[in-house]
Every structure is written in structure tokens, then in C-alpha cells.
Amino acid sequence: MISRVVREPVGVCALIAPWNYPLLQMSWKLAPALAAGCTVVAKPSEVTPLSTITLIRVLEQAGLPPGVVNLVPGEGPVVGSALTGTPEVDLISFTGGAATGAAIAARAAPHITRVALELGGKNPHIVFADANRASAVDAVLTGAFLHSGQVCSAGTRLIVEESIADGFVAELARRAGGIRVGPGTEPASQTGPLVSPEHRAAVETHVARGLAEGAVLVAGGKRPEDPRLAAGSYYLPTVLDRCRRDMRIVQEETFGPVLTVERFATEAEAVELGNDTSYGLAAGVRTGDAARGERVVRALRHGTVWLNDFGPYTPAAEWGGFGRSGIGRELGPSGLAEYQEIKHIWHNTAPAVGGWFT
């Protein structure tokens, strides 16, 4: 007897990418799908489609057979709905917001279509008093304000030990106020605009709601005053201190350059705050105590946890989250497995009469 397990292509895959990191996100889906032997229909965001269109052209020029990779640009409610509501698709891989992910899962459910959902995050960055102060401030700024916070893994919740909080927040506010905002075409710019005026308006609404709930504004909270930036969707890096876990600005994804600050007194409280979210994509922990660092990273329910760092990832390690941050993983061995079906083959090498009913 020979018993073996083989992996086969899942089939036709609908790959739906977001407007942020459009080339990177589509590549994370295309590479394992093609490596597994699948055919795909790629749908880039209607806001940022050009890099995916160019990528598909490059694949065609490289000799990819016709029909293996198919491109269908268009608006989500039209093209996305068609791709996610048909039994002819075997797997849907989507990266984007939690509400859209839930709608896709509902559309796929009647056909029992497999889904891989990489959704949003409300990611805590926990700083203990014994952490290297300069490194921690720098990492919190980068984690929160890189690409104007338009990153699913942005460290939007600073959770800092009470004994150092006042000085830490003051330094953060000072540094945030010095971030150079401007167009990406200017070398001096350190962070750019939001994706659209509508998105900036949504961020402004989030901040106004946070202030109404009792948050204290210590940096930003408005559009730049530079008249050269008036035509763009710019919003200053913003720090809101004295936040509470029950505030919507703490619980809901803003997807903009907004950092909230919460405080803790004990390790157990830090872990409790870090896990007090319906999301679970990423988290950071900063401490000079190696044993405590290991305890806290193991206690946090997030798909990626950085210890004394924030933001890096490697293609060799899985990416994805707990809770409302999604289902399934990208990158790593699990990212490839998303595009494979597992088949068990039992081979009787010496068939004979069983005699069960004699």
C-alpha cells in the first residue's frame, strides 16, 4: 500500500487588491497563485490601477500563456461583486477594509467559495519605561506616520508606561510637529497627502469625534497652513493624548496620520490594553527586559508582533491577523498553501479479494 498526500492548484482565483501599496499587494497574491499553478482574475483598486496594468503587461511579455492571468479593472461594487458572487471562482483573495471583507464573505458563502481576507488593523505599540527612549520615539513616529498612516499595520495606538508618559508624549509631539509634509516628487518631503479629499474628510471626522470624547490634542489636528499644499489632500501628523479604550478613535481604524495615546501601570494592564481590540493584525513591544518582552509578545493576540522594532516583514514569514483583521495568511508557506487543495491518494499495490461478504 502507498498512501500519499499531494497538493494541487485550487483553480480560478479572484485577486482583489487595495489602493495602498497597489503593486506590492497584487504581487503578494499573484506570485503564490502562479507558483501553485492557478489561473487568476486580477482586480486592482479603481483608485490606483496603473501599476497592476503594467505588471500584467510585463507578465505577458515574459511569455505567460494567454488566459493564465486576466485583468478586469473597474469599480468594486460592479466588478468586485461579479467576481465574488459567482460559483466559477474557486478562491477569493481580498485585501482591504473589514466591512468590504465581510460583504465579500457573505457573497461567497452561498457557493462555499474559499476566501482569504487580509483586512484592517488598530495596532498597539506598547512602550515600557525601560525601553531605549530615543529608539522608541523614533519607531513610534515611523510606525504611525509613514505614508501618512495609510498602512493597515500602522502603529496607531501608543500604549506607554505611566511613569514616562508625560515626557515621552511631549517629545513625540515635538517631533511630529517637525515632520515635513509635501508631495512625493519633492526630495525634502517626509510624508505625503491622503489618497483623496473624501478620505481626508473621514479622518477629520474621526479626530473631531475623538476630541469630543475627551482626547487631548498635542500635535497636528488640522490641514497644513502652507499655501503650496492647499490643493492636495494633506493632513498634519496628529497626536491625541489621554485617550481611553472606549473611545471610537481608539477602537476604529482611521487609516490616516493619527496616533492615540493610552497609559498603563503594570505589565498585565499593558497586555490587556493591547488585546482590547476587535482587530489583531500587528503589534509592537519595546522593553529592555528580554524575559518580559517574550512574555508580552506571546500574550498579545496579533498576527505579527515586533519586539523592539516596528514594521519590517519578510516573505519567508506569514502575514495576516486575528479577529476582524482577516482569515488566512499571505507570504510564507501558509501563503502558498492558500492557493492549493490537498488530496489524499491511496494506492493498493497488490489488490486482492477482501472477502468481507463471503
List, by residue number, the catalytic residues.
118, 152
Query: Dmax over Cα atoms in the chain, in whole Å?
Result: 94
State how far the Cα of 208 lies from the Cα of 240, in Å rounded to an integer. Answer: 11
Q: What is the DSSP string of 286-298?
A: E-S-HHHHHHHHH
CA dihedral 171, 172, 174, 175 (to 10 degrees): 110
Residue 73's alpha-carbon distances to 45, 96, 124, 274, in angstroms, are 8, 16, 35, 38
Residue 114's alpha-carbon distances to 91, 142, 324, 335, in angstroms, are 5, 35, 17, 14
Beta bridge partner(s), residue 239: 219, 259
Identify the CA nearest to 235 among candidates 253, 257, 214, 255.
Answer: 257
Asked whether the beta carbons of 214 and 242 are under 8 A apart, the reply is yes
Q: What is the chain's alpha carbon radius of gyration, rounded to the nearest angstrom?
A: 23
Q: At residue 24, what is the residue type?
A: L
Beta bridge partner(s), residue 260: 157, 240
State how far the Cα of 135 lies from the Cα of 129, in Å rounded to an integer. Answer: 13
Asked whether the beta carbons of 97 and 256 are under 8 A apart, the reply is no
Per DSSP, 83 falls in state H
Task: Kindly give the interhelix angle for 162-177 and 133-145, rounded to the nearest 10 degrees.
Answer: 60
